[in-house]
């Protein structure tokens, strides 16, 4: 089923909604803001069991028992947060899971072939759908009036896609805007709709040195932010990457895990092997100098030049 059908059935209190012990939301990217709201309205006793912080053997024991015969619904978050080995262990567990509880999680659509026939699959498309905005608002008890929906629809006329996280945030802002809604839609709506996902994709392409994909995303994102934002962002990424590579090469896995926050998953999993710490250190030093130059009147083309050189040869920056 699609996500709108799932939401509408949930609003009606459909007891058969989670008829399968395993329900898998499938889409291009995890939607943590939306799911945090949705899970609070699941028609079962709800518990969070993050797959990224729970051992599979321990989880199996908890999933296999009930308290006084009451069914619980466990939210595992996104399996994409795991490394390949951990994701494989979780999928093996879930493929054989038959209850007595319910398990719900997100899986990237590239992994759809891993989903067995018996699971309930909820497809998440990011194509703009105003009726989905209305359904989500009703589900979260933030019903929007028809004039508000029409104003939102007009403001989004040029928008082709709309993620569930963006819809959730948009509903919050529209509900609070009141008489200031026209001003919000004119000046602020695209600040809400610019998602974090492209930044992770941009970072993945950056460290993979996939210049075609990188500059395609970069072209769409760069007009929205000042050059100083980009020097700060890339400085942080290179700073974390430097220490991550250094810790991994020295076998300090616990320290590497601590510093990996906000680094792209593809870098943590494989692309870190493409770099040596000294290369990342020099790139970070160049960005620090570039930031100083920008704050003293230099052209912002220096950021583009830095990225072109990094894509062609990281040692040349």
Domains 3-123 and 198-316 are alike in CATH topology: no
In the numeric block, the tokens 């990011």 are attached to: 126
Domain 198-316: assigned CATH number: 1.20.272.10
* pLDDT of the residue at 217: 85
- Summarised one tens digit per residue, pLDDT across range 77-112 is 888 777 778 888 888 888 888 878 888 889 888 878
pTM (2 decimals)? Answer: 0.59
Q: How confident is the model at residue 244 (pLDDT cuts 50, 70, 90)?
A: very high
**Closest Cα partner for 17 from 143, 134, 139?**
139
Alpha carbons 104 and 280: distance in angstroms, whole number: 39
DSSP-based three-state secondary structure for 2: strand
DSSP for 60-100, please give it: HHHHT--BTTB-EEEEEEEGGGS-HHHHHHHHHHHHT---S
pLDDT band for 281, please (50, 70, 90 cuts): very high
Domains of the chain: which residue ranges? 3-123, 130-193, 198-316
Give the lowest-confidence range in 45-49, 59-63, 262-266, 302-306: 45-49
Report d(CA 109, CA 2) in Å as an integer: 13
CA dist 22 → 19, 124, 238 (Å): 8, 17, 39
Pairwise CA distance, residues 10 & 277, whole Å: 50
Largest CA distance in the chain: 69
- 173-219, pLDDT tens digit by residue? 777 777 777 777 776 666 666 555 577 788 889 999 999 889 988 88
* pLDDT at position 246: 94
pLDDT digits (tens, 9 = 90+) for 22-56: 888 998 888 888 888 887 777 667 777 777 777 78
CATH architecture, range 3-123: 3-Layer(aba) Sandwich (3.40)
- Find the helix packing angle between 130-139 and 146-155, rounded to 10°: 140
pLDDT in tens, 104-149: 889 888 878 878 888 888 998 877 777 888 888 877 766 667 777 7
Checking 108-116 for CB contacts under 8 A at 24+ apart, the result is 108/26, 108/27, 108/28, 108/29, 108/30, 108/78, 108/80, 109/26, 109/27, 109/28, 111/26, 111/79, 112/26, 115/24, 115/26
Query: How far apart are the C-alpha atoms of 25 and 31, rounded to whole Å?
Result: 10
């Amino acid at each position: 089923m699609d996500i709108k059908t799932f939401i509408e059935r949930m609003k009606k209190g459909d007891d058969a909604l989670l008829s399968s012990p395993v329900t898998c939301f499938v889409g291009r990217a995890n939607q943590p803001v939306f799911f945090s709201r949705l899970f609070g309205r699941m028609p079962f006793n709800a518990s969070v069991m993050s797959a990224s912080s729970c051992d599979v053997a321990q989880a199996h024991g908890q999933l296999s028992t009930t308290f006084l015969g009451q069914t619980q619904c466990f939210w595992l978050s996104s399996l994409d947060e795991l490394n390949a080995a951990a994701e494989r262990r979780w999928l093996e567990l879930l493929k054989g899971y038959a209850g007595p509880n319910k398990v719900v999680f997100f899986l990237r659509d590239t992994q759809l072939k891993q989903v067995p026939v018996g699971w309930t699959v909820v497809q998440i498309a990011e194509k703009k759908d105003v009726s989905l905005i209305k359904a989500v608002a009703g589900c979260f008890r933030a019903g929007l009036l028809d004039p508000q929906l029409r104003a939102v629809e007009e403001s989004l006329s040029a928008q082709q896609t709309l993620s569930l996280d963006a819809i959730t945030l948009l509903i919050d802002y529209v509900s609070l805007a009141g008489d200031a809604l026209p001003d919000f839609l004119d000046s602020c709506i695209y600040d809400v709709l610019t998602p974090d996902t492209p930044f992770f994709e941009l970072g993945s392409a950056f460290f993979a040195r996939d210049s075609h994909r990188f500059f395609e995303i970069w072209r769409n994102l760069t007009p929205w932010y000042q050059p100083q934002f980009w020097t700060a962002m890339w400085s942080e990424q290179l700073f974390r990457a430097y220490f991550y590579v250094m810790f991994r090469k020295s076998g300090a896995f616990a320290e590497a895990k601590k510093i990996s926050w906000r680094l792209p998953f593809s870098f943590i999993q494989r692309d870190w092997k493409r770099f040596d710490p000294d290369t990342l250190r020099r790139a970070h030093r160049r960005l620090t100098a570039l930031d100083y130059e920008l704050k003293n009147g230099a052209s912002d083309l220096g950021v583009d030049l830095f990225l072109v050189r990094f894509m062609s040869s990281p040692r040349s920056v």
